Amino acid sequence: MRKPLMKVRGSAIISCLILTVLLTAFPIHSIAQNQKDRANFDQLTQIAWSEGTVRVIVRLDVPLIKELTAASAKFWVADASEAIRVARTAADTALKDAIEYTAWKVLAELQGTNYDVNTIYRSIPFMALRVSPYALALLEDSTTVLGLEEDIPIKLIEPVEESGGEKGKTSLTDSGDLDRPSLDVSVDLIGAKTAWGWGYTGAGWYVAVLDTGIRKTHQFFTGKTFVEACFALGSDGVGGAGDCPNGNATMTGPGSAVHHSSSYSGYDHGTHVSGIATGNYGSLAGVAKNANILAIQVFSKFSGNALSSWNSDTLAGLDYIYSLRGSYNIAAVNMSLGGSTRYSYSCDSDSRKAAIDNLRSVGIATAIATGNNGWCTGVSSPGCISSSVSVGASTDSDGEAYFNNWHATLLKLFAPGYQIYSSTGTSDSSYASWNGTSMATPHVAGAWALLKHRLSSGSVTDFLNALRTTGVSVYSVCDGYATGIPRIRVDRAIQSFPTGYALTIQSSQYGTTNPTPGTYTYDQGTQVQVTAVPDTNCEFVNWTGSISSTQNPVTVTMNSDQTIKANFRVKPKLTIQAGAGGTTTPSPGVYYYATGTVVQVTAIPDTYFIFNMWSESASGSANPVSLTMDSDKSLYAHFRYIYPPIATGRKVLNRTFSQAEYINILSWTAHPSNAGLDITKYRIYIISGTTPSLLVELASSQLEYSHRNVGQATIQYTIVAVTSSNREGAPATVTIQ
């Protein structure tokens, strides 16, 4: 079943001549801020003159960088709300803009020189350039530049052949034992299966794999969600055209992390690593079997069919992962790359530390392989960065793997890295057992997803401490088996977390809660938001129990067991009715209002009617009327018909004038049914066709009116009673012929 792959192994075989030259520039020593490293600069200058250009990563003096970074790092897991997204985006944009502004300021100083801008980073104060000797000199002189680091390609840490077993021990003779799928063994050994049994599978979390890309179609990744990106300048180390699938130096989106062709040694390294961290198919599974994958392809193709990652591309990958933290819950970054220089001290001047620090400040661990050189007192770069989680390889029997790079303090954790069976790039169903610190590292990155699944608020320091204090000590021949460095046991680490407290949520009738009523366990210090959700026409009253509050939602801080009850009631009901002759606004019906609501109801009389009075919960004739809904209420609007006056008419011939003319005399009396209505006026209209036009308005004391009718024609009049509120009653019609 096992097909051992023949890989390039052992210590540094640098395939590219330039690399050999470049690597002499390393190790760079701490660049004191504001006091640039003279020796480093001289080396860069030498390269620039001999090659014509030199690639540099420029550390920028960005004003308020600490404050801007801290404001951005307040945002950890994926955005819970639009408000958080807006706030995070604002903080990230402020940081990016400040870096960009400073970068352009420096670039302005380089005017007239030859340079290429490879990357201006968005979350760390760096930019990557390729510069001429003269531009380099200006960078060195710039007061805005704090330091310069050569941008060099770093080799993939390729798997090693099975020739050893445990360091310092006689070679193991691996017989039939090797034919079993050892991922099964190692995943169980680190306690992942126990953690799955508790429900912690990494579901909902992403492991970012900064590597050679991935064969997404492999069966081991069935059902996974992929987020992909590529940063690969190509062997020329300059942007524009590059080694991403689109032919450019950068690419994001589906297909961007597809691996290089199989002619490149280690092309399917990322596929193997991703499988160890998250794979899941049939009876075989990686550590965080339900986690998803953020695949970042950072390797460029070099001569000799070798793959290496420019530091500036690795940095771009880390920068990109940080930018995705609001979109995806990212548990850890897996990096299995390393230079061939042995570091016996923290390499904290490395630009990648800034990116690793940023990720760490938002709870994302960067797990880095220590390298496969078999060193005793050092690890490779970037595993030497103190804020990384550097991982060494152990055997399934907890010895140090013979190829492991060991250091008493720079090596933080051991994980199984010997004979690890995982997915390969040959086909969608191909697997193989590989050896390497690259295989150990994804055990840790996967474990991080399980820990995050259990405790999303856990910091990198919390988890590293938990893994270190609960791990099994692995000893090394390097110091005579004196110093134990913990091999992870993720189940024990989970068990070491505070067990948490119970929150019991109850609800009265007329409502429920979110989360729904029940008992939940939360970690100590967790702030739980509980929302009271009333039924239709009901309202939330208050919380009782461990807290007394009328706030909704309410936040419960879990520093002890708590019981809270949401109390609800039916809202006060308002019944509105209208008698004959009118309606209301709101229209007659039954309404529910939150307690305390002031409701205004307007009575609207029909034509010839007048609003008379309210009855039931209100009285009087104020219109509109206001009611405060402190209990159930009802309103009845009464209306009255305004009767027409009882009218007659006659005409008399007026002989005073030579021309004949009549005087129409209208007389009326008040309708007895209008008693009690405040009739203050009468109006007389002349009807022409159907249109009335006002003839005269008279005080209610006047009950007769004379109208000269010169034309002697028939005239139709209407007489209406008018109330003090200017409501007209029904018309009395008088026709005089």
Residue 233 or 384 having the CB closest to Ca ion: 233
What is the closest distance, in whole angstroms, from the C-beta atom of residue 116 to Ca ion in the complex?
9
Residues in contact with Ca ion, shown as a per-residue x/- string from 478 to 517 under the rule CB under 5 A? ----------------------------------------
What is the closest distance, in whole angstroms, from the C-beta atom of residue 451 to Ca ion in the complex?
39
What is the closest distance, in whole angstroms, from the C-beta atom of residue 316 to Ca ion in the complex?
13
- Are the CB atoms for 703 and 667 separated by under 8 Å? yes
- Are the CB atoms for 412 and 440 separated by under 8 Å? no
In the structure encoding, which two tokens stand for residue 60, read together? 């920028």
What is the closest distance, in whole angstroms, from the C-beta atom of residue 235 to Ca ion in the complex?
8
* Options 65-73, 229-237, 570-578, 595-603: segment touching Ca ion (CB under 5 A): 229-237
- Are the CB atoms for 306 and 340 separated by under 8 Å? no
| Chain-centroid distance, C-alpha 136 | 40
What is the closest distance, in whole angstroms, from the C-beta atom of residue 488 to Ca ion in the complex?
39
Cβ atoms within 10 Å, residue 712: 13
What angle do the packed helices 311-323 and 351-361 form, to 10 degrees?
A: 20
Residues in contact with 326: Cβ distance below 8 Å, sequence separation at least 6, in sequence order: 75, 78, 79, 84, 85, 88, 89, 92
Cβ atoms within 10 Å, residue 314: 24
The size of the interface with Ca ion (CB under 5 A), counted in residues, is 6
What is the closest distance, in whole angstroms, from the C-beta atom of residue 250 to Ca ion in the complex?
10
In the structure encoding, which two tokens stand for residue 23, read together? 């690597």
Residue 242 or 371 having the CB closest to Ca ion: 242
* Options 124-132, 235-243, 633-641, 676-684: segment touching Ca ion (CB under 5 A): 235-243
Determine if 371 is a binding residue for Ca ion (CB under 5 A): no
Strand runs labelled E in 341-442? 365-369, 389-394, 413-416, 420-423, 431-434
* Options 177-185, 230-238, 429-437, 498-506: segment touching Ca ion (CB under 5 A): 230-238
User: Where in 34-63 is the site for Ca ion (CB under 5 A)?
Assistant: none
CA-angle at 731, arms to 729 and 737, nearest 5°: 160
Residue 242 or 338 having the CB closest to Ca ion: 242
Residue 234 or 317 having the CB closest to Ca ion: 234
Residue 56 or 208 having the CB closest to Ca ion: 56
Distances (CA, A) of 457 to 83, 229, 524: 20, 27, 11
Residue 234 or 371 having the CB closest to Ca ion: 234
Residue 35 or 261 having the CB closest to Ca ion: 261
H or E stretch covering 200:
none
Determine if 246 is a binding residue for Ca ion (CB under 5 A): no
What is the closest distance, in whole angstroms, from the C-beta atom of residue 265 to Ca ion in the complex?
21
What is the closest distance, in whole angstroms, from the C-beta atom of residue 459 to Ca ion in the complex?
38
What is the closest distance, in whole angstroms, from the C-beta atom of residue 168 to Ca ion in the complex?
44
* Options 232-240, 265-273, 503-511, 637-645: segment touching Ca ion (CB under 5 A): 232-240
Determine if 234 is a binding residue for Ca ion (CB under 5 A): yes
SS (H, E, C) 665-734: EEEEECCHHHCCCCEEEEEEEEEECCEEEEEEEEECCCCEEEEEECCCCCEEEEEEEEECCCCECCCEEE
Residue 73 or 238 having the CB closest to Ca ion: 238
Measured in degrees and rounded to the nearest 5, phi and psi for residue 325 equal: -65, -20
**Dihedral over Cα of 103, 235, 343, 447: its sign:** positive
* Options 40-48, 172-180, 231-239, 418-426: segment touching Ca ion (CB under 5 A): 231-239
* Options 43-51, 85-93, 226-234, 445-453: segment touching Ca ion (CB under 5 A): 226-234
Strand runs labelled E in 109-249? 115-120, 126-131, 145-150, 153-155, 206-211, 226-231
What angle do the packed helices 65-72 and 351-361 form, to 10 degrees?
A: 40
- Are the CB atoms for 464 and 389 separated by under 8 Å? yes
Measured in degrees and rounded to the nearest 5, phi and psi for residue 113 equal: -105, 170
Residues 250 and 616: their CA atoms lie apart, in Å, by 76
In the structure encoding, which two tokens stand for residue 395, read together? 């055997």
Cβ atoms within 10 Å, residue 4: 14
Residue 231 or 685 having the CB closest to Ca ion: 231
Cβ atoms within 10 Å, residue 582: 19
**CA nearest to 284, candidates 130, 181, 400, 437:** 181
What is the closest distance, in whole angstroms, from the C-beta atom of residue 271 to Ca ion in the complex?
24
Residue 234 or 275 having the CB closest to Ca ion: 234
Residue 130 or 487 having the CB closest to Ca ion: 130
What is the closest distance, in whole angstroms, from the C-beta atom of residue 233 to Ca ion in the complex?
5
What is the closest distance, in whole angstroms, from the C-beta atom of residue 241 to Ca ion in the complex?
5
What is the closest distance, in whole angstroms, from the C-beta atom of residue 307 to Ca ion in the complex?
15
Residue 250 or 280 having the CB closest to Ca ion: 250
- Are the CB atoms for 235 and 300 separated by under 8 Å? yes
DSSP state of 29: P
Residues 561 and 498: their CA atoms lie apart, in Å, by 13
What is the closest distance, in whole angstroms, from the C-beta atom of residue 295 to Ca ion in the complex?
21
What is the closest distance, in whole angstroms, from the C-beta atom of residue 216 to Ca ion in the complex?
25
Give the residue nearest to Ca ion (CB): 234
Residue 249 or 601 having the CB closest to Ca ion: 249
What is the closest distance, in whole angstroms, from the C-beta atom of residue 19 to Ca ion in the complex?
16
Residue 240 or 624 having the CB closest to Ca ion: 240
* Options 227-235, 281-289, 375-383, 542-550: segment touching Ca ion (CB under 5 A): 227-235
Residue 86 or 241 having the CB closest to Ca ion: 241
In the structure encoding, which two tokens stand for residue 430, read together? 């191909």
What is the closest distance, in whole angstroms, from the C-beta atom of residue 387 to Ca ion in the complex?
30
Residue 70 or 241 having the CB closest to Ca ion: 241
Q: Which amino acid is at 439?
A: M
* Options 242-250, 331-339, 460-468, 552-560: segment touching Ca ion (CB under 5 A): 242-250
* Options 239-247, 392-400, 502-510, 532-540: segment touching Ca ion (CB under 5 A): 239-247
Determine if 213 is a binding residue for Ca ion (CB under 5 A): no
H or E stretch covering 102:
helix 82-109
Measured in degrees and rounded to the nearest 5, phi and psi for residue 42 equal: -60, -40
* Options 240-248, 285-293, 552-560, 575-583: segment touching Ca ion (CB under 5 A): 240-248
Residues in contact with Ca ion, shown as a per-residue x/- string from 88 to 127 under the rule CB under 5 A? ----------------------------------------
Determine if 242 is a binding residue for Ca ion (CB under 5 A): yes
Interface with Ca ion (CB under 5 A), residue from 61, 236, 396, 462: 236
Residues that bind Ca ion (CB under 5 A): 233-234, 236, 238, 241-242
